[in-house]
Amino acid sequence: MAAPRLILILGDQLSPHLSSLAEGDPARDRVVMAEVAGECDYVPHHRKKIAFLFAAMRHFAERLRQDGWRVDYYTLDQDHQDLTDALLASRRDSGARQLLVTAPGEWRLLEAMKRQWPQKLGCTVRILDDRRFLCTTEAFRDWAEGRKQPRMEYFYRTMRRATGLLMDADGQPLGGRWNFDKENRKRFDGEAPPPGPKRFNPDATTREVLELVEARFPDRFGDLQPFWFAVTEEQAQASLSHFLDHALPHFGDYQDAMDSGDDFLFHGVLSQYINAGLLDPLAVCEAAEQRYLQDKAPLNAVEGFIRQILGWREYVRGLYWLLMPDYREENRLASHRDLPWFYWSGETRMRCVSEAVRATREHAYAHHIQRLMVTGNLALLLGVDVKQIHEWYLAVYADAYEWVELPNTLGMVMHADGGYLGSKPYAASGKYIQRMSDYCGDCPYKVSSAEEDNSCPFNSLYWHFIHRHRRRFEKHPRMSMIYKAWGRMAESKRDAILARADTLLEDPEHL
Is the pLDDT at 183 greater than 80, yes or no? Answer: no
Q: What share of the chain is helix, strand, coil (3-state, %, to 5)?
A: 55, 5, 40
Is the pLDDT at 264 greater than 60, yes or no? Answer: yes
Q: What architecture is the 342-510 domain classified under in CATH?
A: Orthogonal Bundle (1.10)
How confident is the model over 109-163, as pLDDT tens digits? 999 999 999 999 999 999 999 999 999 999 999 999 988 889 999 999 999 999 9
How confident is the model over 422-454, as pLDDT tens digits? 889 999 999 999 999 999 999 999 999 999 999
Q: In the chain, where does the domain assigned CATH 3.40.50.620 lie?
A: 6-128
Rounded distance between C-alpha atoms, residue 348 and residue 368, angstroms: 21
Mean pLDDT of 417-421: 92
**How does residue 355 score in pLDDT terms, banded at 50, 70 and 90?**
very high
pTM: 0.95
Kindly report the backbone phi and psi dihedral angles of residue 424, in degrees, each rounded to the nearest multiple of 5, phi listed first: -145, 160
The 3-state secondary structure of 225-269 reads CCCCCCCCHHHHHHHHHHHHHHHHHHHHHHCCCCECCECCCCCCC
How confident is the model over 239-262, as pLDDT tens digits? 999 999 999 999 999 999 999 989
Residue 422 has a pLDDT of 87
DSSP, res 329: G
Rounded distance between C-alpha atoms, residue 360 and residue 397, angstroms: 7
CATH code reported for the domain at 6-128 = 3.40.50.620
Q: In the chain, where does the domain assigned CATH 1.10.579.10 lie?
A: 342-510
Is the pLDDT at 16 greater than 60, yes or no? Answer: yes
Q: What architecture is the 137-198+230-323 domain classified under in CATH?
A: Alpha Horseshoe (1.25)
Under 8 Å between Cβ of 321 and 363: no
Which H helix or E strand runs over 253? Answer: helix 248-254
Q: In the chain, where does the domain assigned CATH 1.25.40.80 lie?
A: 137-198+230-323
Under 8 Å between Cβ of 460 and 504: yes
Under 8 Å between Cβ of 376 and 426: yes
Other C-beta atoms closer than 10 Å to the C-beta of 35 total: 24
Is the pLDDT at 3 greater than 90, yes or no? Answer: no
DSSP 383-397: TB-HHHHHHHHHHH-
Is the pLDDT at 459 greater than 60, yes or no? Answer: yes
> At what angle are helices 314-323 and 152-163 packed, to 10 degrees?
120
Mean pLDDT of 329-340: 97
- Decide: residue 442, CB within 10 A, 0-12 exposed, 13-18 middle, 19+ buried: exposed
Which one-letter amino acid corresponds to residue 307? Answer: R
How confident is the model over 186-238, as pLDDT tens digits? 888 888 899 999 999 999 999 999 999 999 999 999 999 999 999 999 999 99
Residue 191 has a pLDDT of 82
Under 8 Å between Cβ of 422 and 153: no
**Separation of CA 298 from chain center:** 26
